[in-house]
Chains A and B, each alone.
Chain A
Amino acid sequence: MTEVTGTTWNVYDANTLTQAEIYGRVLCDLAEADARIVALTADLARSTKIGVFQDKFPQRVFNVGIAEQNLFGIAAGMAKSGLLPFVSTMSAFASMRALEQVRTDICYQNLDVKIIATHGGVSFGQAGTTHHCTEDIAIQRSLANMCVIVPADGWETANAVRAAVLRPGPVYIRLGRGFEPTHFENDDYGFEIGKAVTINEGTDITVIACGVAVYHAAEAAKLLRDQDGISVRVLDVHTIKPIDEEAIMAAVIDTRRILVVEEHNVIGGLGSAVADVIAASGKGCAFAKSGLPDCYSEVGYPEDLYSHYCIDGDGIVGQVRELLHREFEADEDWQDEH
């Protein structure tokens, strides 16, 4: 597999650019080298930050108006005719309004369409539930052929977009709105689709996270180390599908306590994907999922909502402390399995 990280690429500073702005720039780089690449949107060129692409390649942008079903149908047709469409709209519209077009036109036909879903989770806090999307991971991961990536920050977004071009078939990349803190310091840490990144080594418990929760999990791990002397492993499981079973099972065997944190309904998202892996393995462990407790989100600034739904550092700390005392049926033979 071609390297997606490292010095061969332009570097875009995730501390000064939003995830979507980085997407726009990386797409420009990719499009220089690949004439098949086109960008599509539905009256959200400004919101999804493909302006730089539009300036550079005005002929390669198709803004179809406010018509998301048509948007994804057109993208499918373009892919069938040999183009490589990148489609950007808000995650609520990409994963719900146009779901059947995404499923039947794109995934069923296994077409090379890359979906950049912005404003994921509750990142557009003040807009309210119609513009939040806490269902998309569940929806997208249930579509056969779809690869689902939730990058932790702007650096990881650059990597994910580059990797998506190299991967045949549909890819769904979920971004935030753009004001989220960054975790990584650059994009050169060996990103690979389907391979979790170990953010922090640890032996007492593992926090598995994706998206903005990765940053908060890393913060929580520091705090727990300093205040409680607890050794927390933090895994950035940026690829929800195909999921890194090996990293998850290693965490179960090494730490036996797993907390999954995501900006999503606790039903069907990363937490459920991790639970599937653990249940199939037959291993017991203490397990908890953190996210929206099967409710429609409140209105508010994202920071307040992250705190309310325990996706922020304090929330994660509280849940880790609780999970450390949860009883479960331990199986003593595990040590042999390493």
Chain B
Amino acid sequence: MPLSPEEIRSLQAKARQLRCDMVDVTVWAGGAHIGGALSMTDVLTALYYHYLNVKPAEPGWPERDRFVLSKGHGGVGLAAVLADKGYYSKDLLKEFNHFKSPFGMHLDGNKVPGVDASTGSLGHGLSMSVGMALGARFQKQSWRTYCLLGDGECNEGSVWEAAMAAHHYKIDTLTAFTDRNHMMIDGRTEDIMSLEPLAEKWRAFGWEVREIDGHDYAQIGAAIEGAQATKGAPTMIICNTVKGKGVGFMEDQVKWHYGSIDSELAAKAKASITGGAS
């Protein structure tokens, strides 16, 4: 069922709060991959607050939907979402990056409840997702697997090996997202290693492909529901996004791939996110 206007408004409010949380964690951590966390926030919000079938009180629930953050450097974003969902206390995030904290820039699935795979080295997540989805099929389970990739990450050959396998095994319970913010560390994706025509590449690999505005909840919702209804093929949802989305001075800036912020800048960032609203 498409998201209602009311649901969309509430997801948008949630995303504003989560983006502010991510800013807080960036301050506590002494620096984080904030740009790419902000660009994927709306997809994460739609998943965790509407579509994912999970039980935060029981992170290991066998029938839960799986979510793999293949662009593992977005850990600061996922960590904030999982705290808000109640997997653990937000207070724990004050120790982010500190000695022996369970939380480092790239989340360790053995230490952080709710993290289905330890990622951080790019190009691993989609293969693990294919394996999870095959595991579900083999065990006649109906849960779904979701995987979120960076666009720069799609330079990795292993992504395409997984793409081939997902098509070969006709894994229609697998839905992947590409956070198409057009940026990587050293610059814009098309300048460093061009990806276009990206949608056609995925189609040529046998995937059902949807291209959407990754900050528009009606489109995110429709794409996920379309993927859930698709039979016989995996779906790739290419989410056109803005790196640093929500924080005016970070938007579309290469230098905010990874950055640190003090409390003064954090206040500015939050003002930009909430724009007076909350």
| Chain A residues at the B interface, C-beta cutoff of 8 Å | 42-47, 63-67, 69-70, 92-93, 97, 126-131, 298-301, 304-305, 308
- Tell whether, in the assembled complex, residue A43 and residue B155 are in contact, meaning their CB atoms are under 8 Å apart: yes
A-B contact pairs, 27 of them (CB 8 A): A43-B186, A46-B185, A47-B185, A63-B192, A65-B152, A66-B122, A66-B152, A66-B155, A92-B121, A97-B121, A126-B30, A126-B97, A126-B105, A127-B105, A128-B104, A128-B106, A128-B107, A128-B108, A128-B120, A129-B108, A129-B118, A130-B106, A130-B120, A131-B121, A300-B98, A301-B99, A308-B99
- Tell whether, in the assembled complex, residue B155 and residue A67 are in contact, meaning their CB atoms are under 8 Å apart: yes
The 8 Å CB contact of B99, one of A65, A69, A97, A299, is A299
> In the complex, which residue of chain A has the Cβ closest to the Cβ of B195?
A65
What are the residues of chain B within 8 A of A126 when measuring CB–CB? 29-31, 97, 104-105
Interface secondary structure of B, over-half rule? loop
What are the residues of chain B within 8 A of A65 when measuring CB–CB? 152, 155, 184, 192-193
**Given contacts A44-B185, A66-B153, A69-B157, A130 and B121 within 8 Å (CB-CB):** yes
- Tell whether, in the assembled complex, residue A130 and residue B97 are in contact, meaning their CB atoms are under 8 Å apart: no
> In the complex, which residue of chain B has the Cβ closest to the Cβ of A68?
B156
Interface residues of B in 104-145 (CB under 8 A from A): 104-108, 118-123
> Bound state CA distance, A300 and B107, in angstroms?
13
Interface residues of B in 151-172 (CB under 8 A from A): 152-153, 155-157
> Bound state CA distance, A92 and B121, in angstroms?
9
What are the residues of chain B within 8 A of A304 when measuring CB–CB? 99
What are the residues of chain B within 8 A of A305 when measuring CB–CB? 99
What are the residues of chain A within 8 A of B31 when measuring CB–CB? 126
> Bound state CA distance, A276 and B47, in angstroms?
54
> Bound state CA distance, A44 and B184, in angstroms?
10
What are the residues of chain B within 8 A of A42 when measuring CB–CB? 155
- Tell whether, in the assembled complex, residue A43 and residue B152 are in contact, meaning their CB atoms are under 8 Å apart: yes
Say if the beta carbon of B207 comes within 8 Å of chain A. no
- Tell whether, in the assembled complex, residue B103 and residue A299 are in contact, meaning their CB atoms are under 8 Å apart: yes
- Tell whether, in the assembled complex, residue A66 and residue B104 are in contact, meaning their CB atoms are under 8 Å apart: no
Say if the beta carbon of B263 comes within 8 Å of chain A. no
What are the residues of chain A within 8 A of B118 when measuring CB–CB? 129-130
Binary per-residue interface labels of chain B (198-220) against chain A in the complex, 1 for a CB within 8 Å, 0 otherwise: 00000000000000000000000
Q: How many residues of B contact A (CB 8 A)?
A: 32
- Tell whether, in the assembled complex, residue A67 and residue B156 are in contact, meaning their CB atoms are under 8 Å apart: yes
What are the residues of chain B within 8 A of A128 when measuring CB–CB? 104-108, 120
CB of B95, distance to nearest CB on chain A (Å): 9
Interface residues of B in 41-74 (CB under 8 A from A): 72
> Bound state CA distance, A11 and B83, in angstroms?
50
Which 6 A-B residue pairs are closest in the complex by CB-CB distance?
A: A65-B193, A130-B120, A128-B104, A300-B99, A299-B104, A65-B155
Say if the beta carbon of B101 comes within 8 Å of chain A. yes
- Tell whether, in the assembled complex, residue A66 and residue B103 are in contact, meaning their CB atoms are under 8 Å apart: no
> In the complex, which residue of chain A has the Cβ closest to the Cβ of B254?
A46
> Bound state CA distance, A127 and B186, in angstroms?
19
Q: Which of A45, A64, A65, A308 has the most CB of B within 10 A?
A: A65
- Tell whether, in the assembled complex, residue A299 and residue B101 are in contact, meaning their CB atoms are under 8 Å apart: yes
The 8 Å CB contact of B157, one of A45, A67, A130, A299, is A67
CB of B215, distance to nearest CB on chain A (Å): 24
**Given contacts A43-B192, A47-B185, A126-B105, A66 and B120 within 8 Å (CB-CB):** no
The 8 Å CB contact of B184, one of A43, A299, A301, is A43
What are the residues of chain B within 8 A of A308 when measuring CB–CB? 99-100
> Bound state CA distance, A131 and B192, in angstroms?
22
What are the residues of chain B within 8 A of A300 when measuring CB–CB? 97-101
What are the residues of chain B within 8 A of A93 when measuring CB–CB? 121
CB of B273, distance to nearest CB on chain A (Å): 24
* Known contacts A65-B152, A65-B184, A131-B105; 11 further A-B pairs (Cβ under 8 A): A47-B185, A64-B155, A67-B156, A93-B121, A129-B118, A130-B106, A130-B119, A299-B98, A299-B100, A299-B104, A305-B99
> Bound state CA distance, A26 and B274, in angstroms?
48
